[in-house]
Amino acid sequence: MLTERCPEAARIVLVGFMGSGKTTVGRRLADRLGRPVHDSDTVLEQRAGRTIGEIFAQDGEPAFRDLEHRVVADLLDGPAPFVLSLGGGAAMHPGTRRLLADRALVVHLRVGLATALERVGADPRRPMLARPDLPRLHADRAAAHDTVADVVVDVDGTGVETVADTLVALLDALPSRTTTPRTENA
Ligand code: S3P
């Protein structure tokens, strides 16, 4: 059984840039594994009673990041197993990265900037798209997500179902943590 071989796989967390397909792949993966799925953006908006666009506009990005960190920490502390899709900047928070390293199996859905922009276009839920330094932001995020990830899947040119199938196969092939602990791979 997956969680016996790899206890961290009780909490599968999808990270990646906006438009990488985290929400859609997360739903499908959770379906395939028979688990609930959470989306940090949705939980955050419900908790705040405001949209992400409103929070950015009224309180600014640092306040949004604090809220986002608390939402992710609470989800990681909640009942497992689950699949969790994170907002595209959530894993840039050092505290969130520490929690992910300790408690989750992290999957980076790696997407090129061109594909990401084709998919998301202009979206009020994604104020970060208005950043003038988007290529730099994309490169920095990709590097950070690669670092925090246990598994990296390149999603350009690949449909959501295929990505979810690839992940199921990768999870099936995961070696036991008792023989290859994370520290040996670091
Ligand atoms: C953000 C990505 C968004 C959302 C917010 C900030 C980011 O989530 O959390 O707009 O900083 O990249 P998605 O990655 O689901 O679009």
pLDDT one-digit tens code per residue, 123-134: 777 989 988 999
Share of the chain above pLDDT 90, in %: 81
* Residue 185 in this model has a pLDDT that exceeds 80: no
Cis peptide bond prior to 124, omega within 30° of 0: no
* Residue 51 in this model has a pLDDT that exceeds 90: yes
Nearest alpha-carbon partner for 110 in 145, 161, 62 = 145
- Mean of pLDDT values over 39-63: 97
Q: Against a cut of 0.85, is the pTM above it?
A: yes
The DSSP code for 186 is -
SS3 content of the chain, % helix, strand, coil (to 5): 60, 10, 30
Q: 52-59 vs 40-48: helix axis angle to the nearest 10? A: 60
What the block records as the tokens of 47 is: 């908790």
Contact 9, 3 (CB under 8 A): yes
- Residue 21 CA: distances (Å) to CA of 66, 112, 168: 24, 12, 16
* Residue from 47, 125, 131, 145 whose mutation best tests the ligand 1 pocket (most atoms within 8 A of CB): 125
Compute the mean pLDDT over every residue in the chain, rounded to the nearest whole number: 92
* Residue from 17, 18, 119 whose mutation best tests the ligand 1 pocket (most atoms within 8 A of CB): 18
Distance 142 CA to ligand 1 centre (A): 14
| Phi (first) and psi of residue 78, to 5 degrees | -85, -175
**How many Cβ atoms sit within 10 Å of the Cβ of residue 11?**
24
Supply the residue whose CA is at minimum distance from atom 12 of ligand 1: 88
Query: 185 or 169: which carries more pLDDT confidence?
Result: 169
Distance 66 CA to ligand 1 centre (A): 14
* Confidence label for 88 from pLDDT (cuts 50, 70 and 90): very high
